[in-house]
């Protein structure tokens, strides 16, 4: 009977999951082991091939892994409304009654960080999510060792996603190209494959291979680098073009309202920048009112900014501008004074400090086309939004009764008045429409920069340049001029700097106006003069 009990105990012990016990032991050792010995424990934990350890590795990599002094239990530090809190790494359940005095941080250095990144990537190679697998392989590109090569070689035939397979092939090619024990033919073939990749780790590997003692390998690496550099230069031009279009879309939104008021009424509105500022502050106020609905606040802010800036524009036109018709210099001085008043009003209400407007989650991040080209989503949305506003305005001016009256007044004010058009009403609505669109421009700018009292001043001069360059009162000219100046600025900036680029663009416009005083698309007809 005694032997039977011993046998049963032995069988039970052999049946018990050694994996769980060894993992628990290793995690406990993290709390007592010196920093220099921690890499050995990481390797042992990685050998468990347990995906449940990923939260531990990630928290450790981020420097958030701690242990409770009394029990040596592993916990992860998180931020809860500005205060430190601690959760169980496996269940993510917040632990009550634990403060920063009760825990101690598990140390991490650069050597450990590199090791942890590799471990995390290897554990993710078998994930059900293709994006996770691709990211895991990308993490391994910088350090493909023999074990990683063997794992990838084993997984490659089973992989069903083409993007992941291509990334795996890239990793395998890096190892083959760097492995001097491989044949020259294999190494050169691997380098030729790498010549089509834009990954930074691939370029770093090829730079090392270009100094290889094998002349054929070094020559193949040099050729691959030349091919990659050509592609990088092409994508750099695309990136510059995108930023030029982005700047052009902002200039379009900022100047399109000015083109209407300047073209129809002949008013040099120096307070136009403050209409942009009011739109930006309206966005800020909307987010203050609905802090729990930031993702939807932008849809409330657009019509609200249009109404606030539009009503302010109507008020300015009815109180000041209507009394100064035919006196452009006096309207310039009057609107300049109004701009100072509005700036001081905002400083009094909101203080002179800049205000941060939150970006909705669906506008955050970027669209990564490849490792050297990514387009920020907020700029993409603003570009599309600017074109949408332009098309909506064209539709209003071409198809609505207001648009018909606006065109009549802009072509011949006296004749329009004689035909029964209420020119005073048209002036007020036109000024309100132009100011409202400036307010919408402020909503867009609030997603790109901080909101402050001087926000509009940064764009008023550029707006006037766009209007004059495109042709006063011509919407198509405003569109072409805005994107032309935006692209020109961004292509000049890398070689001349931002300030000199702006000066060169200004000089170009001055010279252009000398030759074509009416701009790119001048108004036609007897009233154009």
Q: Which of 80, 97, 123 is the last residue of a domain?
A: 123
Of residues 295 and 46, more confidence is placed in 295
Q: Taking each helix axis from N to C terminus, what angle separates 272-289 and 423-446, rounded to the nearest 10 degrees?
A: 60
CATH code: domain of residue 438: 1.10.3470
Residue 11 lies in a domain: no
Q: Are residues 96 and 75 in the same domain?
A: yes
List pLDDT tens digits, range 367-385.
Answer: 888 888 888 999 999 999 9
Say if 479 falls within a structural domain. yes
Length of the chain: 529
Whether 393 maps to a domain, the answer reads: yes
Q: How far apart are CA 292 and CA 463, in angstroms?
A: 35
Q: How many structural domains comprise the chain?
A: 3
Domain membership of residue 165 as a residue range: 125-209
Distance CA 455, CA 446 (A): 9
Contact 265, 399 (CB under 8 A): no
Instruction: Measure the CA–CA gap between 92 and 193, rounded to whole angstroms.
Output: 43
For residues 331 and 205, membership in a common domain is answered with no
Lowest-confidence pick of 55-64, 248-257, 413-422, 474-483 = 413-422
Identity of the highest mean pLDDT range in 178-187, 398-407, 416-425: 178-187
Q: What pLDDT shows up at residue 2? A: 41
What is the band of 276 on the pLDDT scale with cuts at 50, 70, 90?
very high
In whole angstroms, what is the distance from residue 425 CA to residue 170 CA? 67
- Assigned domain for 419 exists: yes
Last residue of a domain, one of 123, 147, 166: 123
Instruction: Pull the structure tokens for residue 396.
Output: 């209003």
What pLDDT, on a 0 to 100 scale, did the predictor assign at position 3? Answer: 39
Query: Is there a domain that residue 12 lies in?
Result: no
Q: Are residues 253 and 320 in the same domain?
A: yes
Banded model confidence at residue 74, pLDDT cuts 50, 70, 90:
confident
- Is residue 50 one of the residues assigned to a domain? yes
For the cut 50, the answer to whether the pLDDT of residue 17 exceeds it is no
106 and 191 housed in the same domain: no
Same structural domain, 197 and 115: no
Cα separation, 29 vs 106, whole angstroms: 11
Q: Say if residue 348 is in the same domain as residue 495.
A: yes
Say yes or no: 64 and 183 in one domain: no
Q: Are residues 321 and 406 in the same domain?
A: yes
Per-residue pLDDT of 216-234, as tens digits, reads 999 999 999 999 999 999 9
Q: Which of 152, 118, 458 is nearest to 276 (CA)?
A: 458
Same domain, 501 and 452: yes
What pLDDT, in 10s, does the model give residues 444-492?
999 888 888 988 888 888 888 888 888 876 788 889 999 999 999 888 8
Structure letter (DSSP) for residue 320? T
Mean pLDDT, the chain, whole residue set: 83
Q: How many CB atoms lie within 10 A of CB 399?
A: 10
Domain-embedded: residue 341: yes
Q: Stretch 62-77: mean pLDDT, rounded?
A: 84
Answer with the one of 123, 151, 168 that is the final residue of a domain.
123
Return the half-sphere exposure (C-beta side, CA atoms, 13 A cut-off) of residue 203.
13
Q: How far apart are CA 175 and CA 245, in angstroms?
A: 41
- 3-state DSSP assignment of residue 125: coil
Secondary structure of residue 49 in the 3-state scheme: coil
pTM value surpassing 0.85: no
> Percent of the chain beyond pLDDT 90?
21
523 shares a domain with 476: yes
Average pLDDT over residues 492-507: 84
Is residue 297 located within the same domain as residue 417? Answer: yes
**176 and 40 in one domain?**
no
Is 112 contained in some domain? yes
């Amino acid at each position: 009977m005694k032997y039977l009990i011993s046998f049963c105990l032995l069988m039970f012990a052999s049946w018990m999951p050694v994996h769980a016990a060894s993992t628990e032991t290793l995690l406990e050792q993290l709390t007592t082991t010196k920093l220099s010995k921690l890499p050995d424990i990481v390797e042992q934990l990685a050998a468990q091939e347990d995906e449940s350890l990923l939260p531990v590795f990630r928290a450790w990599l981020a420097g958030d892994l701690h242990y409770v002094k009394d029990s040596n239990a592993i916990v992860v530090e998180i931020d809860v409304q500005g205060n430190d809190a601690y959760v169980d790494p496996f269940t993510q359940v917040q632990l009550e009654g634990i403060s920063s005095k009760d825990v101690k941080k598990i140390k991490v250095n650069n050597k450990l960080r590199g090791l942890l990144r590799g471990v995390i990537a290897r554990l993710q190679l078998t994930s059900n999510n293709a994006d996770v697998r691709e990211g895991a392989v990308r993490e391994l590109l910088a350090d493909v060792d023999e074990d990683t090569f063997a794992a990838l070689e084993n997984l490659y035939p089973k992989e069903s996603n083409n993007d992941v397979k291509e990334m795996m092939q890239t990793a395998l090619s890096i190892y083959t190209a760097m492995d001097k024990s491989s044949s020259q033919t294999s190494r050169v073939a691997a380098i030729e494959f790498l010549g089509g990749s834009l990954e930074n780790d691939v370029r770093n590997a090829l730079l090392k291979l270009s100094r290889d003692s094998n002349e054929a390998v070094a020559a193949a690496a040099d050729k691959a680098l030349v091919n990659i550099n050509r592609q990088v230069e092409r994508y750099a031009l695309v990136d510059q073009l995108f930023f030029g279009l982005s700047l052009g879309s902002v200039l379009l939104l900022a100047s399109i309202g000015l083109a209407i008021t300047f073209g129809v009424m002949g008013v040099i509105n120096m307070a136009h920048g403050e209409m942009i500022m009011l739109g930006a502050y309206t966005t800020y106020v909307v987010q203050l009112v609905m802090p729990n609905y930031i993702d939807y606040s932008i849809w409330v802010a657009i019509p609200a900014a249009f109404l606030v800036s539009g009503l302010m524009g109507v008020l300015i036109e009815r109180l000041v501008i209507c009394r100064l018709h035919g006196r452009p210099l006096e309207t310039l001085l009057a609107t300049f004074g109004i701009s100072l008043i509005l700036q001081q009003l905002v400083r009094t209400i909101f203080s002179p400090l800049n205000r941060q407007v939150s970006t909705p989650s669906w506008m955050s991040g970027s669209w990564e086309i490849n490792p050297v080209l990514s387009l920020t989503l907020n700029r993409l949305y603003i570009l599309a939004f600017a074109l949408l506003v332009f098309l909506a305005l064209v539709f209003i001016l071409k198809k609505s009764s207001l648009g018909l009256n606006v065109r009549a007044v802009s072509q011949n004010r006296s004749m329009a008045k004689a035909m029964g058009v209420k020119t005073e009403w048209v002036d007020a609505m036109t000024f309100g429409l132009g100011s409202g669109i400036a307010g919408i421009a402020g909503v867009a700018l609030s997603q790109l920069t901080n909101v402050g009292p001087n926000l509009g001043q940064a764009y008023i001069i550029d707006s006037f340049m766009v209007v004059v360059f495109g042709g006063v009162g011509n919407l198509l000219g405003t569109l072409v001029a805005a994107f032309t100046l935006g692209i020109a600025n961004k292509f000049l900036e890398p070689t001349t700097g931002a300030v000199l680029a702006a000066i060169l663009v200004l000089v170009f416009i001055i010279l252009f106006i000398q030759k074509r005083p009416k701009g790119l698309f001048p108004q036609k007809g007897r009233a154009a003069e």
